[in-house]
Structure 1
Amino acid sequence: MADIATHVDGRLGRINLIRPEAMNAFTHDMCLSVTRALERFLSDPDVAVVVIEAAGEQAFSAGADMRMLYRAGRAGSFHAGQQFWRDEYRMDAMLATYPKPVISLMQGFTMGGGVGLGCHVSHRIVSESACLGMPDCCIGRVPDAGATRILSEAPGGLGRYLALTGYRLGPADAIYAGFADHQVPRAQWPDLLAALAASGEVGQIAEFATAPGPSRLASARNVVDQCFAEGSLSEIIARLQQTDDALAVSALARITKSSPLALACALELQARYTGSGIHEALAAEYRFTFRSYENTDFLEGLRAIIIEKDLAAKWRHPSLSEPSAEDVAAVLAPLGDAELQFERGDLGK
């Protein structure tokens, strides 16, 4: 069975991830299939709106297929991973710049690269079961797939908090932090899709949207801003160690388990690209991912968290330490001829 199904339904161009047994984690072929579908729908005058949805209740998408990437890295096939990320990021750029409205319907887990697929589009809908996050630093990566742009635009210190801790956002938090626009109950999705297929009018989303309830992040802003709004990694850690609030204690525990190099690079990316567009964010993230097999903690993080699950990663830097500015600069330096280009996936909106 194919992992992507696409078809035209009235005024809707529909893209459906159908790999629920793997939480709709996507492969290279799936990225290319989404890109081809977007290109096809763009030239189809009958398609007024594109919708991205996913099979199953557990997840919209857990992101990239990390086992696939681990196997490629362990085999020394670095080019395979680099090509995957190149095409994934071009797909993300295409979604962010698409001339027609694009709706994402996110239920359950939306993690890592799933955020890139679902959270750059023009109309982002979450169900009551939605759980979004960027837990990349715990496996030695930076939040990527354009997450740097969303995180850097989050209010106060939220972007830095979310990047360093991988905090999981429910629907109210996702809307508050800028990852989603509306909550629509899962039971209402068939009716919403039928209405959109008939009319092609995205204004109808408002008729189905419901209030998401209070955001826990909104109520925690004082502590988040106090600890995360500014400063280096070591300064953030010091503030967390001096704060006895439950959020600070939990955040410090998460940071303790994560790759110091990834944490420092995630902070640097937000500092450099606050207010930048999607292309700048993706190009900067690609510098890290391009080098991630050889020059970061990525493979070790995958081994410890995803593959062997011993939760005992041996990071390049001691836990709670801050890598040098030179270490960070080396991983985020321009790639010369290998820089990410957007000849695919960028429609220039």
Structure 2
Amino acid sequence: MTELILRKQGVAGRITLNRPEALNALTPGMCKGIRDALALWRDDPEVHCLVIDGAGPRAFCAGGDIAEVYAHGTRGDASFAQNFWRDEYHLNLALAEFPKPVVALMHGFTLGGGVGIGGHAHKRVVCETSQIGLPECTIGLVTDVGGTLLLARAPGRLGDFLALTAWRMGPFEAISAGFADRYVPQDLWEPMLTRLCESGNLCVIDAFAKPFTRPELLDAVEALSPALAQDSLAELRTALSEAPGELAAKALRLIDKNDPLAMAASRRLIAEARQHDSLREALAGEFRYTARAIGQSDFLEGIRARVIDKDGAPNWSHRIEEVETVAASLLDPLGEMELWVQSPQ
């Protein structure tokens, strides 16, 4: 089975992620294939827009396929992971900067690398099954794929909350947080796609979109803003432990399961993204951490505990009270290894 289905339909270039048995998790080959399709259709006068979706009922894309990354990493080979992330981040920017409209249909699980593929599209459609999130801190990796910029643009301190808790947003939460644009029930996707591919006009999506109400999560997180705005991760945790309400208690439980090093670094990157508001700079900052992830972070241990052994008991290497200096060092410039110095493989 081919990992990608590429074809033209009317005036649209169609890209379907086609690993439904793996929740359409991204591989290096898929990143290259999408990049090649962008190059092919960029100047094709017959292609007026791009549409990206995922095969199967369960997921648009549940993230990157990290099994091979883990296998190489445990053998001491960091270059495989570095090349994969470099290629993926270049693809994230290419999708965001593509000169023709890009539409992402994000049903089911849209996590991690799936946000990198769909979250930077020009029109992002969700439905009743959509679950969108950035779970990297649960596996000892910094929030990446440009996610720190999306989180920085979320209202108030919602971005910090989403990163630290690895919260999975429903469709209305995703729209309110700036991770999606329109809610269209999935049974309307086929007629919507037919009209979109015939016309290439993104206003078709607006015609099928349904209204929604403001989700309760936004007001609940807003009440936690003083705690989420604390300078250090340790101070944030203490403030959350003293905050009233069910959401504060739930957030604390989730944070206590995640990697302190990755959470501290993610907070720093989100704060920086609020200042520069640039996807290019966000990806470069994220790569400084992920390029060092093999051997210098808790990434391999997180994958072991969450994905390989599935014991759910990672042995994180740093306590929350001592993590800030180490997190900052993992975000130092990379010199000749910087993301935009080298091209993808």
Change (3 A) 1:149 1:11: same
Partner of 1:311: 312
Residue 29 of structure 1 pairs with residue 43 of structure 2: no
The one-letter code of the counterpart of 1:254 is: L
Q: CA deviation at 1:343?
A: 7.3
Once residues 112 and 157 of structure 1 are traced to their aligned partners in structure 2, the CA distance between those partners, rounded to angstroms, is 20
The normalised TM-score by structure 2 is: 0.97
3-state SS in 1 of match to 2:105? strand
TM-superposed deviation, 1:229: 3.2
Indicate conservation of the 8 Å contact 1:158/1:229, yes or no.
no
1:264-307 Cα distance to aligned partner (Å, 9 max, x none)? 10111111221421100000000100000110000000001111
Runs of 4+ in 1 over 6 A off after TM superposition: none
Aligned partner letter, 1:341: W
Greater Cα shift, 273-282 or 85-94 = 273-282
Partner of 1:123: 123
For residues 29 and 91 of structure 1, the distance between their equivalents in structure 2, rounded to whole angstroms, comes to 12
Paired-residue identity, %: 43
Give the Å deviation of 1:211. Answer: 1.7
Partner of 1:287: 288
Q: How far is the alpha carbon of 1:214 from its aligned partner?
A: 3.6
The alignment partner of 1:332 has SS state of coil
Separation (CA, whole Å) in 1 of partners of 2:342 and 2:123: 25
- Superposed, which structure 2 residues align to 1:92-241 within 5 Å? 92-241=92-241
1:260 Cα shift? 0.8
Tell me, what secondary structure is at the counterpart of 1:321? helix
| Aligned residue in 2 for 1:328 | 327
Once the two structures are superposed, residues 16-54 of structure 1 have per-residue CA deviations (whole angstroms, 9 ceiling, x without a partner) of: 001000000010000000111111111210111100000
The aligned residue for residue 72 of structure 2 is 72
| Unmatched runs of 5 consecutive residues or more in structure 2 | none
How far, CA to CA, are the matches of 1:168 and 1:343 in structure 2?
33
CA change 1:343–1:101 in 2 (3 A) is farther
Superposition pairs of residues 266-277 of structure 1, within 5 angstroms = 266-274=266-274, 275-277=276-278
**CA contact 2:261–2:327 (8 Å) conserved in 1:** yes
Partner of 2:301: 300
Cα-to-partner distance string for 1:105-142 (whole Å, 9 max, x where unaligned) = 00000001110001001100011110001111111011
Say if 1:69 and 1:81, in contact at 8 Å, map to a contact too: yes
The answer to whether the 8 A contact 2:176-2:214 is kept is: no
Q: Which amino acid aligns with 1:276?
A: D
1:181-220 C-alpha deviation (Å, 9 max, x unpaired)? 0011111111111101111111111110012344132231
String of CA shifts for 1:305-342, please: whole Å, max 9, x gaps. 11101111111112x434142x1222111000000017
Closer, same or farther: CA 221–18 of 1 in aligned 2, 3 Å: same
**Residue 4 of structure 1: how far off its partner (Å):** 0.3
Rounded Cα–Cα distance in structure 1 between residues aligned with 2:297 and 2:330: 8
2:247 equivalent in structure 1: 247
Question: Is this contact kept in 2: 1:86–1:340, CA < 8 A?
Answer: yes
Q: Provide the residue aligned with 2:338 in structure 1.
A: 339
**Deviation at 1:232?**
1.6
Which amino acid in 2 is paired with 1:301?
G
Aligned to 1:48: 48
Conserved? CA contact 1:90–1:342, under 8 Å:
no
Q: Distance in 1 between matches of 2:244 and 2:5?
A: 49
Alpha-carbon distance, 1:227 to partner: 2.2
Q: Which amino acid aligns with 1:280?
A: E
CA–CA separation in structure 2 for the residues paired with 1:289 and 1:343: 15
Contact 1:261 1:322 in 2 (8 A): no
In the TM superposition, what is the alpha-carbon distance from 1:152 to its structure 2 partner?
Answer: 0.6
CA contact (8 A) 1:11 1:49 kept: yes
CA 1:170–1:74 in 2, change beyond 3 Å: closer, same or farther? same
Specify every segment of 5 or more residues in structure 1 that has no aligned partner in the other structure, as ranges. none
**Alpha-carbon distance between aligned partners in 1 of 2:53 and 2:240, rounded to the nearest angstrom:** 39
SS in 2 for 1:311: coil
Code of the residue aligned with 2:283 in structure 1: it is L
Partner SS state of residue 85, structure 1: helix
Q: Which amino acid aligns with 2:226?
A: Q
